[in-house]
Amino acid sequence: MTSQKLNTFLENNLQELKDNGLYNEIDTIQGPNGSEITINGKKLINMSSNNYLGFANDDRLKVKANEATDTYGVGAGAVRTINGTQSIHDELEAKIAEFKHTEAAVAFQSGFNCNMGAISAVMNKNDAILSDELNHASIIDGCRLSGAKVIRVKHQDMDDLRAKAKEAVESGQYEKIMYITDGVFSMDGDVAKLPEIVEIAEEFDLITYVDDAHGSGVMGKGAGTVKHFGLQDKIDFQMGTLSKAVGVVGGYVAGTQNLIDWLKVRARPFLFSTSLTPGAAAACIEAIDIMSSSTEEHERLWENGRYLKAGLKDLGFNIGDSETPITPCIIGEEKLTQRFSKRLTEEGVYAKSIVFPTVPRGTGRVRNMPSAAHTKDQLDIVLETYKKIGKELDVIS
Ligand code: PMP
């Protein structure tokens, strides 16, 4: 007999979500995640992955993953601090530190638990965290978990950051104060104003934490947003994921040796959750090697981003002010945005709608994530399809 209370709770809440159109049906992909995907047997041009460089199904990475699986096994067998650290994990961390130009790095099983673990390892109830209001959910949860006072800062508003940093310092209430921001914001493609952030951080002695999930592999010739601005010595935490441009899975923090030593004894997912699989670690190493030795994929990503943006703009769509290949097509009203995305899928283009509460009400958008793996022919089909649906739904004239 299962719990009656639980069943009632689940049934009521699931029904409420369904009644309000908020229940997310999951699309299952048959086969790899590339520039084309198959859903329900139908081939679709994929504009919704974070697979920026096309590495998720790259043969070079697959070979390394298979070799490492043969050498080390399919699983690490334990958490990092018992005996789940294999030489491939040490190799990956050394590779990340080299790529990020830092003294050291620590790898986690995902970007999400990296943020949860790293923030709460350093910050506590005697501290304050200034956090951009559009930061990712894993940052929000990591901040909450830490017990620190969380102070929301208006999105990319440097005056607000300065005022709140000043107020926090002058209150004398906090031992440490951190400012945490995404490096690239994934909904609009805007880039954190790191030079100004560093200036404010120096003035008020703030700890700086940049979540570069969407900047790594994309900004700074691949090395990320911090490198883009040449601020490697000025940012305390360079956090990133191994799941987006790197194409595999995992997260990391790159920073000073002391910071990494501390995270390895205090970040709870490192201590209490089994290590990355050896195959994943090896594939990540190969991705970083490719990014370090060639800018081919990187250039194609940016070229494809420019091409798509120019095409959509020419058609009369509002594409916002993205500074990266991320290309939102802002439709506005929520239902119309969802209808637009559904029609695109019916016509062979998979581009997800993003609406309130993920973005402010009335700014619903279909978000396009061009990648190095897309061909010009595919992007032309995408543009033709946008033109057709845009006219059909009166979004463009
Ligand atoms: N930070 C940001 C900014 C992200 O966009 C994401 C992924 N959506 C994460 C962290 C979590 O990364 P992962 O998917 O590797 O857990």
In angstroms, rounded to a whole number, what is the distance separating the alpha carbons of residues 184 and 213?
A: 8
Catalytic position from the list 48, 49, 110, 186: 186
Q: Is position 371 within any domain? A: yes
Q: 87 and 222 in one domain? A: yes
CATH code of residue 270: 3.40.640.10
Could you tell me which residues are beta bridge partners of residue 128? 149, 177
Q: Is position 102 within any domain? A: yes
Tens digit of pLDDT per residue, the chain (397 long)? 799 999 999 999 999 988 877 788 899 999 999 999 999 999 999 999 999 999 999 999 999 999 999 999 999 999 999 999 999 999 999 999 999 999 999 999 999 999 999 999 999 999 999 999 999 999 999 999 999 999 999 999 999 999 999 999 999 999 999 999 999 999 999 999 999 999 999 999 999 999 999 999 999 999 999 999 999 999 999 999 999 999 999 999 999 999 999 999 999 999 999 999 999 999 999 999 999 999 999 999 999 999 999 999 999 999 999 999 999 999 999 999 999 999 999 999 999 999 988 888 899 999 999 999 999 999 999 999 999 999 999 999 9
In angstroms, rounded to a whole number, what is the distance separating the alpha carbons of residues 241 and 232?
A: 17
Tell me, in angstroms, the distance from the centre of ligand 1 to residue 243's CA: 8
Closest approach atom of ligand 1 to CA 242? 15
Q: Is position 2 within any domain? A: no
Tell me, in angstroms, the distance from the centre of ligand 1 to residue 387's CA: 32
In angstroms, rounded to a whole number, what is the distance separating the alpha carbons of residues 48 and 35?
A: 9
Q: Is position 285 within any domain? A: yes
Q: Is position 7 within any domain? A: no
| Long-range contacts of 301-310, Cβ-Cβ distance < 8 Å, separation of 24 or more | 301/52, 301/53, 301/218, 301/325, 301/370, 301/371, 301/372, 304/370, 304/371, 304/372, 304/374, 304/379, 305/370, 307/370, 307/376, 307/379, 308/368, 308/370, 308/379, 308/382, 308/383
Pair of tokens at residue 348: 């062979």
214 classed as catalytic: yes
Closest approach atom of ligand 1 to CA 136? 3
Domain count, the chain: 2
Q: 310 and 287 in one domain? A: no
In angstroms, rounded to a whole number, what is the distance separating the alpha carbons of residues 312 and 288?
A: 32
Q: 192 and 224 in one domain? A: yes
Residue with tokens 């940012």: 235
CA 79 to each of CA 138, 152, 316: distance values in angstroms, whole numbers, following the listed order: 21, 34, 53
Query: Degrees (nearest 5) of the Cα angle 271, 127, 131?
Result: 90
Q: Is position 55 within any domain? A: no
63 in helix, strand or coil? helix
The last residue of one of the domains, among 252, 268, 293, is 293
Tell me, in angstroms, the distance from the centre of ligand 1 to residue 89's CA: 20
Residue nearest to atom 4 of ligand 1 (CA): 213
Q: 107 and 126 in one domain? A: yes
186 classed as catalytic: yes
The pocket around ligand 1, CB under 6 angstroms, is made up of: 110-112, 115, 136, 138, 182, 186, 211, 213-214, 241, 243, 251
Tell me, in angstroms, the distance from the centre of ligand 1 to residue 169's CA: 30
Q: 380 and 251 in one domain? A: no
Q: 127 and 114 in one domain? A: yes
CATH code of residue 321: 3.90.1150.10
Q: Is position 43 within any domain? A: yes
Range of the domain at 205: 60-293
CB 334 within 8 A of CB 387: no
CB 328 within 8 A of CB 366: yes
The last residue of one of the domains, among 240, 264, 293, is 293
Q: 113 and 26 in one domain? A: no
Q: Is 351 exposed, middle or buried (0-12, 13-18, 19+ CB in 10 A)?
A: buried
319 in helix, strand or coil? coil
Q: 197 and 116 in one domain? A: yes
Pairing label, strands 42-46, 207-211: unpaired
294 classed as catalytic: no
DSSP string, 103-161: SEEEEES-HHHHHHHHHHHH--TT-EEEEETT--HHHHHHHHHHTPEEEEE-TT-HHHH
In angstroms, rounded to a whole number, what is the distance separating the alpha carbons of residues 227 and 194?
A: 10
Q: Is position 140 within any domain? A: yes
Q: 277 and 153 in one domain? A: yes
In angstroms, rounded to a whole number, what is the distance separating the alpha carbons of residues 254 and 268?
A: 17
Q: 328 and 284 in one domain? A: no
Testing ligand 1's pocket by substitution, the residue of 134, 241, 276, 358 carrying the most ligand atoms inside 8 A of its CB is 241
Testing ligand 1's pocket by substitution, the residue of 110, 136, 239, 246 carrying the most ligand atoms inside 8 A of its CB is 136
Q: 288 and 223 in one domain? A: yes
Pairing label, strands 42-46, 36-39: antiparallel
Catalytic position from the list 149, 228, 244, 298: 244
Testing ligand 1's pocket by substitution, the residue of 112, 131, 139, 354 carrying the most ligand atoms inside 8 A of its CB is 112
Q: 342 and 282 in one domain? A: no
